[in-house]
Structure 1
Amino acid sequence: MTYNAMRQNAGHSLEQRLQYLEDRIEIQDLMVRYGLGQDLHEDGDNDVLEQWDSVFAPEARVDYSVAGGAQLKDIPFRDLVEVMRAPDGSMSGLLKWQHFQGFSTVDIDGDRAVARTQHLHTHKGDTDGQGWNLIQTGFFVDRLERRAEGWRIAHRTLEIIWMDTFATV
């Protein structure tokens, strides 16, 4: 249920409304920690999972196939790190990056939720002395579950609105 729907239904107590807001804040923090997992580890240490283990459920799967083909369709989230960060991975030509996650729309139903979060991802690369930038915009669509350790993403789908690469000046 969305917060507006909850407010309009007089049957929800103040405690239920506060729980919804607490859940929303925790889910928003998950979205930020996902980006931090990417951004705090651009120096090659590859410890993305320091943050991602507190974002994804252990068995979580991701579908990033829109960005890289069938090998990224419904894979364990831990495999995504290798696909991106391996020496020949999708991020191997990148020098710097930053991942901005926007606010999420969240529908909560008990211990399950669905969130849709805007993103803007920026990347700086270099190929044979030619600098370039890549920008990707889109959404993450997440199915979340409340666990003993808090909210976790059980499944994530990447949707790309647009992506563009351009030379640096």
Structure 2
Amino acid sequence: MAKTLYSATMSLDGFIAGAGGDMSWLKPYFGPNPEADGLVDRIGSLLIGRRTFDGDDPNKGTEQEGAFSGAWSGPSFVLTHRPPAEPVPGMTFVGDVVSGVAAARAAAGDRYVNILGAETARSCLDAGLLDEVLVFIVPVLLGDGTRLFERPGGDNVRLERISVGQAPVATSIWMRVLPA
């Protein structure tokens, strides 16, 4: 069965998007990263939060627009209570995290369901449906924006390190979510 993986690039102070959802801060950190580059082949489907789906793409209008700088092509599920009136090619809209993860897992086969979006990742975590977290930490302090995980009043979540890696533009930490 497919595992769920939340992967994101994060500033050293814990933000994955700048103020107002700005993603342009990422551009200086695009570059060779063997772990990130190899991840796409390990993904079988995406589970995307609505804000991420509607959000800022630092590659908008270029050949690299889309998930993983345009390298992703495959089943994509958008978690939302507000599906668009018109169908969006290549996207399936799901109304709740449990059915969304189930559909994405079925589509992923034995590969990862990659989660895109902080709120969606938190929902998966809260529902006990998040298996792993991969964070690419880049050398910048944003000071404001969307945090990797925001759980006010939340309890501790235990993690186990799977691997740590370094590339010219980022340090990666891959963790397994441990049962409570």
**Do these two structures clear the TM 0.5 threshold for a shared fold by scoring above it?**
no
**Structure with more contact order per residue of length (Cα contacts < 8 Å, sep ≥ 6):** 2
Q: Which has the higher helix share?
A: 1
Q: Which has the higher strand share?
A: 1
The alignment's TM-score, normalised by the length of structure 2, stands at 0.28
The alignment's TM-score, normalised by the length of structure 1, stands at 0.29
